[in-house]
């Protein structure tokens, strides 16, 4: 297949859309599906055809590619086929499906493949969302790729072309919703829900709307006080309810296709209904009723816990918090409320058990929350391809009976399936390559691909990203793919063993600090002593967290004899000489994993050095520099963790490798 040279080498990175396809399509025909979005999406489609298939022109009747209305209801999906005369057909029920089908055809042809048997694909999840933790001052909470693409120094950046480039990247991987401001809503951002901010937000919403992406805003629950100058934000106060109704009406007057609100309440200092002795259902439903006449929804985060805990009290367990609060409210939320639940019970660690809320909630809309930005997984310095982690969560069987696998129960257990889905904290900023580390683009790409098709494998997604992003021979493509798909396990090897979590530098969350959180207020303790390490969360002798799961999972997690090795230190305090299912003692596993993790990074670095001259110089320099930093980080983790546990346990390495005393 003939390909044009990569475009935009010195300007902003076009990521997996960098290489236009030539020699395939000269003319195309668009038959409108119907609907109010047709004109804007038609314009977007023709603009994208010009960029991705630069030889193509729209024609009224004849072409090499036909966009046609589908007789079947495909929702946001599409059918892709090729007829006996070599003409391509994209069929869809909505104009948005044409866009998704066009990007899929581009991806297929760019990878050197072609359409064989007709492919019909519909998204696995309804809501496929990215959440920005961007602040109006231009900073990004937990951002590692430069400043905000939306804001700078208390102003809107107003770089509409930049936002359009971002929207096309998101659309190309199937994203259909976005929140553009931090869930920790500061003072100035509290006013985003009224003029004059809404004037600019409408322009942003229109750009995303051109790509079928609806816009949410994070709101401050205390906005009736800070913005409306009321004396209370009590959700059951009629004055507060009326204020929110007027405010929401004003938003929809300005942005008719506004999607709704994202809310963090009663968590880490954010205001919420607990201040008024109200439940989270009271708070969420009050907002939902203001949005309902306009078709908007409330996404209410379940990340609620006591962040003033004492390490002295072992009965307190942050892992229990979300379950205890929200499981009791199942069925109490309005139909246009969705609970957004983090994948694990604590906070986006490299490994945690799946949140027990999945499977426990059976009468409430639910959205699974991931984190693309690498807060605890390497800050986009270290390579850590997260799709394998997300796959494990989606494929997890809660064993609750009925529809019990997470990827299926998101819809099955939601009262309105269209108000369910997946969201993730995104990793994008002003860096030229969007994600800081060039290889971190694979996480953004992989997230969108996995949301669209929950059954796609980590390997095929990584391989597709490599082929779309670089022009490498088969050997190097395979080498890069394997680097990505093994990197999560590698990162886990040299950092926190067996799901113990939080041995990183407090606040910053990059680099090793084994006891950094051990006597702090955040409820993230490993309790290492001379006998063993880990948090005892069994029902028999611990905090009872294991009982939050189904009977089958409880029995598995409760006993050391059946608890999976990879979750062991999250669920139990374990002696150093305890023998794992692998046959190793706990202490030997810790030593071996940390030595092996460094060795793997050394191999990654050696491979990257072979790519000089094979990938663009800017990409090579970017990846090489970060890989060198990753190796030093891995060495620091290895040496400090191994020394720490040698001193605690008094048990040496059976292989007599260097551990500093």
Q: What 3-state DSSP class applies to 624?
A: helix
Domains 15-121 and 494-535+573-649 share a fold: no
Estimate to the nearest angstrom the gap between the alpha carbon of 187 and the chain centroid: 26
Cβ-based neighbour number of residue 10 at 10 Å: 7
Q: Which of 194, 316, 224, 217 is nearest to 263 (CA)?
A: 217
Question: What CATH number should be reported for the domain whose range is 127-456?
Answer: 3.20.20.80
Length of the chain: 661
Helix axes 280-291, 238-254, angle to 10 degrees: 40
Q: In this predicted structure, what is the pLDDT of residue 374?
A: 99
Residues 345, 286: Cα–Cα separation, whole Å? 26
368-414 pLDDT per residue, tens: 999 999 999 999 999 999 999 999 999 999 999 999 999 999 999 99
**Could you tell me the two tokens for 371?**
């984190």
Answer for the pair 102, 90: CB distance below 8 angstroms, yes or no. yes
Q: What 3-state DSSP class applies to 575?
A: strand
Q: What 3-state DSSP class applies to 645?
A: helix
Estimate to the nearest angstrom the gap between the alpha carbon of 542 and the chain centroid: 31
Q: What 3-state DSSP class applies to 475?
A: helix
Q: Which of 549, 289, 507, 299 is nearest to 420 (CA)?
A: 299
Q: Is 375 a catalytic residue?
A: yes
Q: Indicate the burial class of 154 (C-beta count within 10 angstroms; 0-12, 13-18, 19 or more).
A: exposed
Q: Which of 507, 468, 462, 516 is nearest to 485 (CA)?
A: 462
Q: In this predicted structure, what is the pLDDT of residue 32?
A: 86
H or E element in which residue 368 lies = strand 365-371
Q: Are strands 27-30 and 57-58 parallel, antiparallel or unpaired?
A: parallel
Beta carbons within 8 Å of 651's beta carbon, 6+ residues apart: 576, 577, 585, 587
**Could you tell me the two tokens for 203?**
């322009």
What residues does 88 pair with on adjacent strands? 65, 82
Q: In this predicted structure, what is the pLDDT of residue 307?
A: 86
Beta carbons within 8 Å of 535's beta carbon, 6+ residues apart: 317, 500, 525, 526, 527, 542, 543, 569, 570, 571, 572, 573
Cβ-based neighbour number of residue 274 at 10 Å: 16
Q: Is 347 a catalytic residue?
A: yes
**Could you tell me the two tokens for 592?**
């071996």
DSSP label of 88? E
Catalytic: which of 268, 529, 551, 555? 268
C-alpha dist (Å) from residue 478 to 441, 460, 526: 17, 11, 38
Scored b (16 or more CB within 10 A) or e, 41-78 reads bbebbeebbeebbebbeeeeeebbbbbeebeeebebbb
**Could you tell me the two tokens for 122?**
């519909």
Beta carbons within 8 Å of 597's beta carbon, 6+ residues apart: 490, 491, 492, 493, 494, 495, 634, 637, 638
**Could you tell me the two tokens for 339?**
């609970």
Q: What is the CA radius of gyration of the chain?
A: 25
Catalytic: which of 13, 375, 556, 558? 375
Domain parsing of the chain, residue ranges: 15-121, 127-456, 494-535+573-649
Range list of β-strands (E), 522-638? 532-533, 574-575
Estimate to the nearest angstrom the gap between the alpha carbon of 173 and the chain centroid: 13
Q: What 3-state DSSP class applies to 386?
A: coil
Q: In this predicted structure, what is the pLDDT of residue 172?
A: 99
Question: What CATH number should be reported for the domain whose range is 15-121?
Answer: 3.30.379.10
Residues 244, 294: Cα–Cα separation, whole Å? 13
Answer for the pair 302, 261: CB distance below 8 angstroms, yes or no. no
Instruction: Find the DSSP H helices in 354-472.
Output: 357-360, 387-394, 406-412, 441-452, 458-469
Q: Which of 489, 492, 488 is nearest to 637 (CA)?
A: 492
Q: How many helices (H) and strands (E) does the chain have?
A: 18, 18
Answer for the pair 209, 36: CB distance below 8 angstroms, yes or no. no
Answer for the pair 359, 398: CB distance below 8 angstroms, yes or no. yes
Regions of the chain short of the pLDDT cut 70: 1-10, 35-36
Catalytic: which of 270, 347, 352, 558? 347
CA dihedral 514→520→522→525, nearest 10 degrees, is: 40
Answer for the pair 543, 537: CB distance below 8 angstroms, yes or no. yes
Residues 186, 560: Cα–Cα separation, whole Å? 45
Scored b (16 or more CB within 10 A) or e, 288-322 reads bbbbbebebbbbbbbbbbeeebebeeeebbbbbbb
Answer for the pair 619, 438: CB distance below 8 angstroms, yes or no. yes
Q: In this predicted structure, what is the pLDDT of residue 1?
A: 23
Backbone angles phi, psi at 425, to 5 degrees: -75, 120
DSSP label of 178? E
Looking at CATH, the fold of the domain delimited by 494-535+573-649 is given as Alpha-d-glucuronidase, C-terminal Domain (3.90.1330)
Q: What 3-state DSSP class applies to 514?
A: coil
Question: Quick one: three-class SS letters along 236-300?
Answer: CCHHHHHHHHHHHHHHHHHCCCCCEEEECCCCCCCCCHHHHCCCHHHHHHHHHHHHHHHCCEEEE
Residues 515, 299: Cα–Cα separation, whole Å? 35
140-171 pLDDT per residue, tens: 999 999 999 999 999 999 999 999 999 999 99
């Amino acid at each position: 297949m003939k390909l044009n040279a990569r475009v935009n080498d010195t300007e902003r990175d076009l990521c997996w859309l960098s290489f236009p396809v030539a020699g395939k399509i000269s003319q195309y025909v668009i038959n409108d599906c119907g609907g109010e979005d047709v004109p804007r999406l038609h314009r977007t489609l023709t603009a994208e055809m010009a960029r991705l298939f630069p030889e193509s022109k729209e024609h009224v009747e004849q072409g090499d590619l036909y966009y046609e209305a589908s007789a079947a209801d495909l929702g946001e999906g599409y059918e892709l086929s090729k007829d006996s005369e070599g003409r391509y057909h994209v069929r869809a029920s909505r104009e948005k499906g044409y866009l998704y089908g066009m990007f899929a055809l581009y991806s297929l042809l760019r990878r050197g493949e072609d359409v064989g048997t007709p492919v019909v694909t519909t998204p696995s999840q309804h809501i496929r969302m990215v959440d920005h933790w961007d602040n109006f001052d231009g900073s990004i909470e937990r951002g590692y790729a430069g400043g905000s693409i939306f804001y700078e120094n208390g102003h809107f950046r107003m770089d509409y072309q930049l936002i359009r480039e971002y929207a096309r990247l998101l659309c190309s991987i199937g994203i259909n919703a976005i929140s553009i401001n931090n869930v920790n809503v500061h003072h100035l951002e509290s006013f985003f829900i009224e003029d004059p901010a809404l004037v600019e937000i409408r322009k942003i919403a229109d750009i995303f709307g051109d790509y079928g992406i609806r816009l949410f805003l994070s709101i401050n629950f205390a906005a009736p006080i800070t913005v409306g100058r009321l004396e209370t934000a009590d959700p059951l106060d009629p004055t507060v309810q009326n204020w929110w109704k007027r405010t929401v009406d004003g938003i929809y007057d300005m942005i008719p296709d506004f999607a709704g609100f994202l809310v963090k309440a009663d968590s880490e200092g954010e205001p919420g209904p607990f201040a008024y002795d109200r439940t989270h259902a009271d708070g969420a439903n009050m907002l939902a009723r203001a949005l309902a006449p306009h078709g908007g929804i409330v996404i209410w985060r379940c990340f609620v816990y006591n962040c003033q805990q004492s390490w002295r009290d072992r009965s307190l367990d942050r892992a229990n918090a979300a379950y205890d609060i929200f499981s009791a409210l199942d069925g109490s939320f309005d139909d246009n409320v969705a609970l957004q639940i983090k994948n694990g019970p604590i906070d986006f660690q490299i490994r945690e058990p799946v949140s027990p809320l999945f499977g426990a909630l059976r009468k409430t809309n639910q959205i699974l929350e991931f984190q693309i930005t690498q807060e605890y997984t390497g800050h986009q310095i270290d390579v850590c391809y997260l799709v394998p982690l997300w796959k494990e969560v989606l494929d997890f069987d809660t064993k609750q009976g009925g529809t019990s696998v997470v990827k299926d129960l998101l819809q099955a257990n939601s009262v309105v399936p269209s108000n369910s889905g997946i969201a993730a904290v995104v990793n994008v900023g002003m860096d030229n390559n969007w994600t800081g580390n060039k290889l971190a683009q694979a996480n953004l790409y992989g997230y969108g691909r996995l949301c669209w098709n929950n059954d796609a494998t980590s390997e095929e997604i990584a391989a597709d990203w490599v082929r779309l992003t670089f022009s490498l021979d088969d050997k190097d493509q395979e080498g890069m793919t394997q680097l990505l798909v093994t990197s999560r396990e590698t990162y886990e090897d040299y950092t926190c063993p067996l799901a113990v979590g939080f041995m990183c530098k407090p606040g910053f969350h990059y680099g090793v600090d084994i006891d950094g959180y051990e006597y702090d207020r955040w409820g993230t303790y490993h309790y290492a002593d001379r006998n063993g390490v880990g948090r005892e969360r069994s029902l028999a002798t611990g905090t009872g967290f294991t009982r939050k799961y189904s009977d089958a999972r409880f029995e598995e997690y409760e006993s050391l004899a059946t608890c999976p090795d990879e979750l062991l230190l999250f669920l139990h305090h374990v002696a150093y000489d305890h023998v794992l299912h692998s046959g190793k003692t706990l202490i030997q596993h810790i030593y071996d994993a940390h030595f092996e993790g460094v060795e793997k990074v050394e191999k990654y670095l050696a491979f990257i050095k072979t790519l000089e001259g094979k990938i663009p110089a800017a990409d090579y320099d970017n990846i090489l520099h970060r890989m060198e930093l990753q190796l030093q980080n891995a060495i620091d983790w290895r040496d400090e963790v191994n020394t720490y546990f040698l001193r605690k346990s008094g048990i040496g390495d059976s292989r007599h490798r260097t551990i500093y005393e």
